[in-house]
Structure 1
Amino acid sequence: MASIRFIHSADLHLGSPFSGMKGLGAEQWKTLQNSTLAAFERLISYTLETRPDFLLIVGDVYDGEDRNLRAQHRFQQGMEQLDEAGIPVFLSHGNHDHLSGGGASFDLPSNVHVFRDSVENMTLPVSGATVKIAGFSYGRRHVTESMIEHYPNKENGIIQIGMLHGSEESDTEHAVYAPFRKEQLLGKNYDYWALGHIHKRQQLSMDPPIVYPGNLQGRNRKESGPKGFYEVVLTDGYAELEFIGAESVRFERIEIDCSSVQHMNELFSIVKEQLEAHDAEALVAELELQNLDEATIHMLEDIPNGELVYALREVLSDPQSFVHISTVQLDRNGLSSELSPFGKQLASRLENWQSNDWKQALKELYNHPKSGRFLPQLNEELQSELQAEAIAKIRKMMALEDPK
């Protein structure tokens, strides 16, 4: 096999609205709203700098089916830059930006191939080798049937790559679209499977590679850690993958050691020191305060709802940097006081609640003709705050008495 080099990206979600984020300053809010576009610009810049043989974009180029106009314009400009550099692009649309969506459209340059809603297998000569790239775009939002049987088997003497925006049949954490089993992908004998749809970076196999690069820019607390894309080199059946970071704002869960904390000024100093030392360019942090003793945790639990978060945000306020605290949670592991059996059961249930559980529990309140219009949007950040506050109250009210 000849050596080829390409970039595998997915789930750009250009034009994400980031609705529901609270407590951000004007400049921070602007940075966050532009973050998906900034990450895309980094993808384009890296591609132009390194000049790979081609670029793959595996689904959900845009966040919505109406395809935000500003996002489309920026994307078209990026494709024009790659066209001028002679770099081919293969892209598919996913469940968020399916082909049946409305809105204005832009004419992309000739270097870009957009897959149809049926599987195509495109041929690309690269450095004396023949590369074939198979993929499809979503014709509608919900593609629930398997598409694997429509992918051709690999031919002898070529390099075969598959692009698939979908999820494993066994996935219980996400809505299952274009489902597949890993064994089905392996059975095609492809040299590389470029996956999209799951926003967590992961490798289902390395021989051959079956890879999710994750999304290009995190958009909420569940999409934490470094985000970006893969640069891939395939040589004689061997794959070398390098992750390239692209996010301009990072969401992160950060554990703070509070074993030396007795007073609030000490807590403020520790949090400030750790967050300012973080290597993210811009940071939205979900804090977990650990190693708290009984006296400190009771002191923190007595603080009115939200006041601790607001105070810490003020401590970190700096017009020259972007460090934002979204929530603060208290870790009670190792404390002498225990919950009653019912308290344990209730706290455990709340800790495992998902978005649909919150919506169901608060359905009547939000649908009430009078009160509903005054309530804030039930987004990820609000759910996290409600969850932390509810569990803290349960632990405080339902703790067993210390026999000492």
Structure 2
Amino acid sequence: MAFKFIHTADIHLDSPLKSLAMRDKGLAELVGNATRTVLSRLIDLCIAEQVHALLIAGDLYDGAQTSMKTARFLAQELERLSAAEIPVFMIRGNHDSLSKITRELVLPKSVHVFGDKASVHEIPLNGHEVAIHGISFRQPHAPDSLLDQFHTPLPGAFNIGMLHTSLGGVVGHDSYAPCSQIDLQKTGFDYWALGHIHKRSVHAGRPTITMPGIPQGRDIGESGAKSVTHVSVSDDGTVDTTERNISVAQFELIEIDCTGLSEWDEFVTHICDHVAETRRHFDGEHLILRLRLTGASPMAWRTLRDEDLILAQTQNVAASIGTLWIDKIEIHLTDAPNDTAHGPIAEISDLINEIDFRPDEKRIHEEVKRLMSKLPPELRGIFGESETQVDSFLQKEMQLGAREILTRLDGSEEL
């Protein structure tokens, strides 16, 4: 008799969405409530699939949350699993290591939360002896590997390891409890239930190593389909993993080529048609788009000036559809030759296109550092996470600023 379980991580329950809230309160409400909906759908899935266990590999919460509303909601959902006799195994990651909810909330007896010292929990699952090993973060940072703290595999059992880890390192994720695929293979476990990296990945074989990814994206940096992982283990120990999509909304970045468009009405219609067509080809419940306008067009200058008008037009299209949202518009257009372009404005435009803006002045960097120090901690990465990224951001903004000034000087466009 095979046994099966659901493996998930990085739910970030009731995660605050400050950047989205500043841009669009309706969108922030949709995505902010999505984490709760996803947790409820996760419980529904476990019960419908009649799985034998649920594994949550860290970051169930987002920081040191103390909201009793969150606590009550979580307790109610976990009680549903308890009533269905489905045990839950949890570890704490970097985001929920300090959460008072996991430390103080009275959870059903069917929920086992691993402590900050590695331990192993033996349990029969559908007639199979299963040993679940796990360790929680003690503090938000875990710069060293935790593998040497795990117990050795239990003979005669199917051994599962639960670990919140950055593995060998991924762009956009800090290094936590680092280890390699080879390190995990050397442990002799049968399955590794990982968490932390928000993009799904599966390394089949023995052991099967799974990073389920985040089940619900929260911004454009977490674009694409999101899911949890259904794991089925046969009598001979063969592991089969499949995705189960339970997300409420999906973020996508789409590029719209505007090459050759020279009339404003044609330009805006082209963008709006592309947005509507994208929604028609998407099967998900809600779609959140970031638009990246590319190509060479005489509309490049005016687009910089009237970006708010394009955003309003596309948001109207989204509102008429009802399950479509526009997160933001990125303008990556280049100037195209225009028969009406002539005189000093056109000459200056050519010069701007040739200039390599390099924000290497010490004064500029000092001013940016001063500005970032005044921002709330969650917004200090708005210009980039490294000096190189900040330089790139400033270079782009300086060039866009110069073009915007020219746009306003150009008498050929109606202001």
Are positions 1:185 and 2:160 aligned together?
no
Alignment pair present for 1:137 and 2:136: yes
Structure whose CA Rg is larger: 2
TM-score (norm 2): 0.79
Distance change in 2, residues 1:170/1:380 (3 Å): closer
Q: Does 1:340 align with 2:346?
A: no
Is 1:271 the counterpart of 2:274? The answer is: yes
Give unmatched runs, 5+ long, in structure 1.
350-357, 399-404
Larger CA deviation: 64-73 vs 215-224: 64-73
TM-score by length of 1: 0.81
The equivalent of 1:317 in structure 2 is 319
What residue is the counterpart of 2:343 in the other structure? none
Point out which structure has higher relative CO (alpha carbons under 8 A, 6+ apart).
1
Normalized per residue, the structure richer in helix is 2
The corresponding residue for 2:254 is 254
Secondary structure of the corresponding residue to residue 221 of structure 2: coil
Structure 1 pair 176–204 and aligned structure 2 pair: CA distance change class (3 A):
farther
Instruction: Give the corresponding residue for 2:327.
Output: 326
Q: Distance in 2 between matches of 1:330 and 1:289?
A: 5
Give the equivalent residue in structure 1 for 2:289.
285
Report the CA distance shift for 1:206/1:175 in structure 2 as closer, same or farther (over 3 A). Answer: same
Please state how far the C-alpha of 1:40 moved relative to its aligned partner.
0.6
Distance 1:214 1:360, change over 3 A: farther
The 1:266–1:57 alpha-carbon spacing in structure 2 relative to 1, beyond 3 Å, is same
How well do the aligned residues superpose, as a CA RMSD in angstroms? 3.4
Structure-2 separation of matches of 1:134 and 1:86: 21
Which position in structure 2 is the counterpart of 1:355?
Answer: none
CA 1:141–1:377: 2 relative to 1, 3 Å: closer
Moved more, 239-248 or 164-173: 164-173
- Cα distance in 2 between the residues matched to 1:333 and 1:305: 15
Moved more, 96-105 or 37-46: 96-105
Structure 1 residue matching 2:16: 3-state secondary structure: coil
Structure 2 regions of 5+ residues with no counterpart?
Answer: 338-349, 404-415
Distance change >3 Å, CA 382–CA 145, structure 1 → 2: closer
The answer (yes or no) to whether the contact 1:275–1:323 under 8 Å persists in 2 is no
How far apart, in 1, do the equivalents of 2:250 and 2:309 lie? 24
Aligned to 1:364: 370
The AA in structure 2 aligned to 1:363 is: K
Counterpart in 2 of 1:353? none
Structure 2: distance between partners of 1:61 and 1:359: 38
Q: Map 1:89-238; keep pairs closer than 5 Å.
A: 89-99=88-98, 101=100, 105-171=104-170, 173-235=172-234, 236-238=236-238
How far 1:209 sits from its partner (Å)?
A: 1.6
Percent same amino acid among aligned pairs? Answer: 28
Counterpart of 1:39?
38
Separation in 2, partners of 1:395, 1:285: 23
Instruction: Report deviation, 1:174.
Output: 1.7
Could you tell me which of 307, 310, 315 is aligned with 1:308?
310
Query: Which deviations, in whole Å up to 9, do the C-alpha atoms of 1:347-369 show, x marking residues without a partner?
Result: xx9xxxxxxxx99863313557x
Q: 2:412: which partner in 1? A: none
Query: Deviation per CA, 1:129-174, whole angstroms, max 9, x where unpaired?
Result: 2111100112222222211011123243211110001112444532
- d(CA) in 1 for partners of 2:100, 2:46: 28
**Structure 1 runs of 4+ off > 6 angstroms?**
333-338, 358-361, 379-384, 386-390
User: Separation in 2 of the partners of 1:152 and 1:103?
Assistant: 24
C-alpha separation between the residues in 2 aligned to 1:228 and 1:124? Answer: 26
CA distance in 2, matches of 1:157, 1:376: 49
Instruction: Give the conservation status (yes or no) of the 8 Å contact 2:190–2:207.
Output: yes
The C-alpha deviation readout for 1:317-372, integer Å capped at 9, x for no partner, is 23x724222222244589798953724x77xx9xxxxxxxx99863313557xxx7
